[in-house]
């Protein structure tokens, strides 16, 4: 279970879709001054070097953030949501360039207002130490709690947050098939305790029955609980037989009304910027309860 290290995938096309969506969710929820609690159930190490270590071996950033940067530098125009995402990446590279890629904990920390709180879960024995070390360097460190615990079973204990305003990012590695079932149980429990929370679930599109069924299962849970949802999937290529990840998705329960507009602008640009063959495409669907 502990072979997954997110550094291999830092700055990939999947990270781009996930992190653009995440920034838009936080920005909308921060339009009101009330304190916001953000839970990142699968945090990873927090920030990654793209120039050495695992990321330099996998080179996934070349099909992701570097490809997007080259697209922008070639003079192509991008919508505000992609610009805001690139600004977040740049904020963690104050000396210029793109040596470092911030994962969800750093992106979220950068967006925190003084009244907001961030709760990070990480189980991997090495990642948790790196995460603690990385977060300790942040000026927002006092607003951040780190739990070396299984988030699937502990999430419900944090809900509802005291301010009743909350965002939960659920981004498992799905290394273990049980993650799909654990996700469903955790979401059902979370909605029972905090029905109005915003839940953002990332998933890989891979040839596994559980992955193919995930969006429909999430839709069923959302509609049974009379919740609105949004489903976004980005495919960068269609190369049957290739083992690399070719598509990924986000499923949002209780999405802000602004999210669909932002993704409808951003995703066709991502297809153009990151698409590797004619199979590149997007799915964007929503339902209002």
- Which residues form the catalytic set? 171
Does 64 bind ligand SAM (CB under 6 A)? Our answer is: no
* 101 CB-near residues (< 8 Å, 6+ apart): 10, 11, 15, 47, 48, 50, 55, 61, 65, 89, 92
Does 152 bind ligand SAM (CB under 6 A)? Our answer is: yes
Q: Which residue, among 286, 283, 284, 41, has the nearest Cα to 183 in the 3D structure?
A: 41
Q: How far apart are CA 161 and CA 163, in angstroms?
A: 6
CA angle 44, 50, 52 (to 5 degrees): 100
Q: Which stretch binds ligand SAM (CB under 6 A): 111-119, 146-154, 183-191, 226-234?
A: 146-154
Half-sphere exposure of 270 (CA within 13 A, CB side): 37
Q: How far apart are CA 255 and CA 264, in angstroms?
A: 14
Query: Which C-beta is closer to ligand SAM: that of 42 or that of 235?
Result: 42
Does 119 bind ligand SAM (CB under 6 A)? Our answer is: no
Q: Using CB under 6 A, which residues numbered 172 to 231 contact ligand SAM?
A: 172-173
Q: Which stretch binds ligand SAM (CB under 6 A): 121-129, 205-213, 229-237, 246-254?
A: 121-129
Residue nearest to ligand SAM (CB): 103
Assigned token pair, 98? 């793109």
Among 11, 63, 64, 103, binds ligand SAM (CB under 6 A): 103
Assigned token pair, 271? 């297809």
Query: Which C-beta is closer to ligand SAM: that of 150 or that of 288?
Result: 150
The site for ligand SAM (CB under 6 A) is made up of: 4, 6, 18, 40, 42-44, 103-104, 121-124, 127, 150-152, 171-173
Annotated binding-site positions: 19, 42, 104, 122, 150-151, 171
């Amino acid at each position: 279970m502990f072979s997954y290290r997110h550094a291999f995938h830092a700055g990939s096309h999947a990270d781009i879709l996930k992190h653009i969506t995440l920034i838009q969710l936080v920005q909308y929820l921060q339009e009101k001054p009330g304190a916001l609690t953000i839970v990142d159930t699968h945090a990873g190490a927090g920030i990654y070097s793209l120039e050495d270590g695992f990321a330099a071996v996998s080179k996934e950033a070349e099909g992701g953030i570097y490809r997007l940067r080259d697209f922008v530098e070639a003079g192509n125009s991008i919508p505000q949501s992609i610009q805001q995402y690139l600004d977040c990446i740049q904020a963690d590279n104050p000396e210029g360039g793109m040596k470092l890629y911030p994962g969800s904990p750093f992106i979220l920390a950068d967006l925190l207002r003084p009244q907001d709180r961030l709760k990070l879960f990480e189980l991997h024995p090495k990642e948790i130490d790196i995460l603690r070390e990385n977060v300790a360097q942040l000026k927002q460190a006092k607003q951040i709690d780190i739990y070396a615990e299984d988030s699937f079973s502990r999430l419900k204990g944090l809900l509802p947050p005291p301010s009743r305003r909350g965002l939960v990012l659920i981004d498992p590695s799905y290394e273990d098939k049980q993650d799909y079932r654990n996700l469903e149980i955790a979401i059902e429990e979370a909605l029972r305790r905090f029905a109005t929370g915003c839940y953002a679930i990332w998933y890989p599109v891979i040839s596994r029955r559980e992955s193919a069924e995930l969006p429909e299962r999430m839709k069923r849970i959302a509609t049974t609980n009379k919740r609105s949802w949004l489903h976004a999937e980005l495919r960068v290529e269609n190369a049957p037989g290739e083992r690399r990840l070719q598509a990924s998705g986000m499923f949002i329960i209780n999405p802000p009304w602004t999210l669909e507009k932002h993704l409808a602008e951003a995703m066709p640009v991502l297809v153009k910027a990151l698409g590797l063959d004619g199979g590149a495409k997007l799915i964007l669907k929503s339902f209002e309860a």
